[in-house]
Chains A and B, each alone.
Chain A
Amino acid sequence: MKQNESQEWSRHYQGKLLLRHEIHLDDSIFQQLLDASYVTPMPAIQRKYFQHECQRCGNRKRSLFGRIPCQICHKTHMYCRKCIDMGRVMACTPLYQWTGPDVTWPCHLDACTWTGTLTMAQKQGADRIGRAIQHHDKELLVWAVCGAGKTEMMISGLTEAFRQGQRVCLATPRTDVVQELLPRLQQAFSGIDIQALYGGSSNKEGTAQFIIATTHQLMRFRHAFDTVVIDEVDAFPYTNDPSLPFAVRRAVKPSGTTIYLTATPRQKHQMLIAAKKLPHVFVPVRFHGHPLPVPMLRKSRSLKKDLDRFRPPDRFLEWYNRRKHPERQILVFVPSIHLAETLADHMASVLDDCSVRAVHASHNDREHIIQQFRNRSFHMLITTTILERGVTFPAVDVAVLAADHHVFDEAALIQIAGRAGRSPHDPTGDVVFFHSGKTEAMVTAIRSIKQMNQRGGLSNELSMV
């Protein structure tokens, strides 16, 4: 084996956990690597605590294991049904990991080519991230309110990681966020090799020093990164699918640092913070220094009846006509896709001076419609919870119809409220929850927003509850 060849391979395969067909090497070369212990096989399905565990996705659920009379080894054995879309993991075929020479990633003394400046609050957050990376802390949770500028904080925090020649991964549960972050980060770190991995990305190799990936893609990594940043750690599906935290935990090196970014930490994290078991930094102020808009509650008795007939409720129309800033666009959240579609048609016929469109998860040209809304080519956008986070519109008023529906939990409502007033030119905005009966989620969301404003030293001047 030649020196540069083996370097090329280690760059490709170090920190990965792959099936044979995912390793694009000829059988003879692969055998050589096996003999030289550069590649080590490990069993793909193991018994653990009287259960089976898939070593790639961490699945232990019995209904998600199947038995197959395998025509390759002529035995009947287990396979994992959970991660089958990434290629079948079977008991008779091992997973391979690289155990050859390590790759050394280049050190960048000042990798940051971003020229913006941080506010005081952001600088505090960024410094804390930098310190955690410098001291190889195990975990850090960054709790920054919606619109605090998490990406900017992270950029200056990660400069420290590249100074030390670390390999870094930015993971997020959502594909949209990966696509949105890639160009921004390529600009911010123009000297660093960056790759984006997501379902349907053109490049799947993951050989760069800086990887931006959906959390799903981390299932092919093991002990690969010195620093992993998880953006929107409380978002679906990360909190619902135990495979994802499993994959993230494994993708970090044992000595590595994991940084969680969130605006609405889940109760589990809040309890760890309260028990002082999870170091955290709180950034309570939005980057323009104005408080978070506090939602208003509007009770409407006929709400359910109206929505069943796909009619905008009277209280909504009343609010619509009396808004102080009629020039602002309107973002309306509803609980279901079907309602979004049908309501958009009816809304357009009721409000004849207003152009209305709907967008939801099963739209193929989602990006396009969102971009059109940003360009102000129509006035009102009706959507489901897919737009609750990660998107920025300059000047909008936000309404939630049927805020008492169970899809709107506390985190979702806080995130939704955070869509308003994101621009320094128009830092306020109405947020109205239309409901037919207050829920715990609505009350705690409003309380949390007020608390965050107080911790930021801001008054809740907009509070009208």
Chain B
Amino acid sequence: MNCLWCDEHIVPSITWKTVLTLTEPMSLCASCEHTLVALTGERCVKCSRMSEETVCKDCRRWENDWQNGADPLAWNVSVFQYNEAMREMIARWKYRGDYCLGDVFQHPYQQAFRKHFSFLSRNAVIVPIPLSDDRLKDRGFNQAARLADSLPRKTRSVLMRTHGEKQSKKTKWERISGRNPFKVTESITNPVVLTDDIYTTGTTLRHAAFVLKQNGSPSVYAMTLIRG
């Protein structure tokens, strides 16, 4: 097995654990794995940002004035920090379209889901944030769907997105004040966990949560790979 990032050959270390149990083969070499830093310590309970406050300033704003109503998103959990190494890795995975790099995130993403969402009943549903048709044609795959596939719950792609400017090309204000690009094709009456690669301002996830709630979801959570 070679490292998916630097293509160095990985020499697995043999320990009692590897002998006695079935461990998954490593997808990154040790030195590349070190460059990815997990979110730790005190975090905002709503958006997973590393912060001393229990609920950070941005989230307090969301709670008070989301389009004159309550915040549709219960809370978000993220796994990794958005550092330089992660930025490069995401760029290659998502924008260049190196599909295999998704394997790198599968295991930590799954672990985090088990830790934070095991309280949800078996009939909770995973909904990946969709790409617009045009963008899907460009990239050939949806990174959020790839993440959803690694989770141990049923995935249902019930959201549709109309084509718009890339979120990452907009300013913070443009994102927050933009109109809702999502539609629901089928209503879901179970709790929903949205999946996406990155939580930046949280607008996208709230737009999606809003339409899901309108169509009968009791509660909507989010699980993202990175807190930007």
Give A contacts to B, CB under 8 Å: 61, 63-64, 66-72, 79, 81, 84-85, 88, 90
Contacts of B191-227 to chain A: CB distance below 8 A: none
Q: Which residue of B lies closest to A85 (CB)?
A: B96
Inside 8 A of A72's CB, which chain B residues have their CB? 137, 140
Give the docked Cα–Cα distance between A72 and B141 (Å): 9
Asked if A84 and B7 sit within 8 Å, CB to CB, the answer is: no
Say yes or no: A71-B99 contact (C-beta < 8 A), given A64-B7, A84-B92: no
Asked if A81 and B100 sit within 8 Å, CB to CB, the answer is: yes
Inside 8 A of B2's CB, which chain A residues have their CB? 63
Inside 8 A of B92's CB, which chain A residues have their CB? 84-85
Q: Contact check: which of B1, B100, B141 meets A71 at CB < 8 Å?
A: B141
Say yes or no: A81-B98 contact (C-beta < 8 A), given A63-B2, A63-B7, A71-B142: yes
Asked if A88 and B140 sit within 8 Å, CB to CB, the answer is: yes
Listed A/B pairs (13) with beta-carbon separation below 8 Å: A63-B2, A63-B7, A67-B100, A68-B99, A68-B100, A71-B136, A71-B139, A71-B142, A72-B137, A81-B98, A84-B96, A84-B98, A85-B92
Q: Which residue of A lies closest to B100 (CB)?
A: A66
Asked if B100 and A90 sit within 8 Å, CB to CB, the answer is: no
B97 within 8 A of partner (CB)? yes
Give B contacts to A, CB under 8 Å: 1-2, 7, 92, 96-100, 136-137, 139-142
Inside 8 A of A63's CB, which chain B residues have their CB? 1-2, 7
A200 to chain B, nearest CB (A): 16
Q: Contact check: which of B7, B99, B137 meets A79 at CB < 8 Å?
A: B99
Asked if A90 and B140 sit within 8 Å, CB to CB, the answer is: yes
Give the docked Cα–Cα distance between A239 and B184 (Å): 55
Inside 8 A of A84's CB, which chain B residues have their CB? 92, 96-98
Other contacts beyond A79-B99, A84-B98: 5, CB < 8 A:
A63-B1, A66-B100, A72-B140, A79-B97, A84-B92
Asked if A66 and B136 sit within 8 Å, CB to CB, the answer is: no
Q: Which of B7, B92, B100, B142 has the most CB of A within 10 A?
A: B100
Asked if A69 and B141 sit within 8 Å, CB to CB, the answer is: yes
Inside 8 A of A79's CB, which chain B residues have their CB? 97, 99
Give the docked Cα–Cα distance between A70 and B146 (Å): 12
Inside 8 A of A70's CB, which chain B residues have their CB? 140-141
Inside 8 A of B99's CB, which chain A residues have their CB? 66-69, 79
Asked if B141 and A88 sit within 8 Å, CB to CB, the answer is: no
Give the docked Cα–Cα distance between A69 and B92 (Å): 17
Asked if A68 and B140 sit within 8 Å, CB to CB, the answer is: yes
Q: Contact check: which of A64, A71, A85 meets B137 at CB < 8 Å?
A: A71
Give the docked Cα–Cα distance between A464 and B96 (Å): 55
Q: Contact check: which of A61, A66, A71 meets B98 at CB < 8 Å?
A: A66
Q: Which residue of A lies closest to B91 (CB)?
A: A85
A66 to chain B, nearest CB (A): 4
Give the docked Cα–Cα distance between A90 and B2 (Å): 21
Inside 8 A of A68's CB, which chain B residues have their CB? 97, 99-100, 140-141
Q: Contact check: which of B1, B97, B136 meets A88 at CB < 8 Å?
A: B97
Q: Which residue of B lies closest to A69 (CB)?
A: B141
A291 to chain B, nearest CB (A): 43
Give the docked Cα–Cα distance between A221 and B92 (Å): 24
Q: Which residue of B lies closest to A92 (CB)?
A: B140
A319 to chain B, nearest CB (A): 37
Give the docked Cα–Cα distance between A67 and B1 (Å): 15
Give the docked Cα–Cα distance between A71 and B100 (Å): 15
Inside 8 A of A66's CB, which chain B residues have their CB? 98-100
Give the docked Cα–Cα distance between A246 and B96 (Å): 23
Give the docked Cα–Cα distance between A90 and B100 (Å): 13
Q: Which of B2, B92, B99, B136 has the most CB of A within 10 A?
A: B99
Inside 8 A of B139's CB, which chain A residues have their CB? 71
A301 to chain B, nearest CB (A): 32
Give the docked Cα–Cα distance between A72 and B138 (Å): 8
Inside 8 A of A61's CB, which chain B residues have their CB? 7
Give the docked Cα–Cα distance between A69 and B140 (Å): 8
B73 to chain A, nearest CB (A): 27
Give the docked Cα–Cα distance between A127 and B92 (Å): 47
Asked if B7 and A88 sit within 8 Å, CB to CB, the answer is: no
Give the docked Cα–Cα distance between A219 and B97 (Å): 19
Give the docked Cα–Cα distance between A64 and B142 (Å): 21
Give the docked Cα–Cα distance between A79 and B99 (Å): 9
Give the docked Cα–Cα distance between A200 and B225 (Å): 31
Inside 8 A of B7's CB, which chain A residues have their CB? 61, 63-64
A143 to chain B, nearest CB (A): 33
Give the docked Cα–Cα distance between A61 and B142 (Å): 26
A22 to chain B, nearest CB (A): 14
Q: Which residue of B lies closest to A66 (CB)?
A: B100
Inside 8 A of A88's CB, which chain B residues have their CB? 96-98, 140
B28 to chain A, nearest CB (A): 13
B45 to chain A, nearest CB (A): 36
A90 to chain B, nearest CB (A): 7
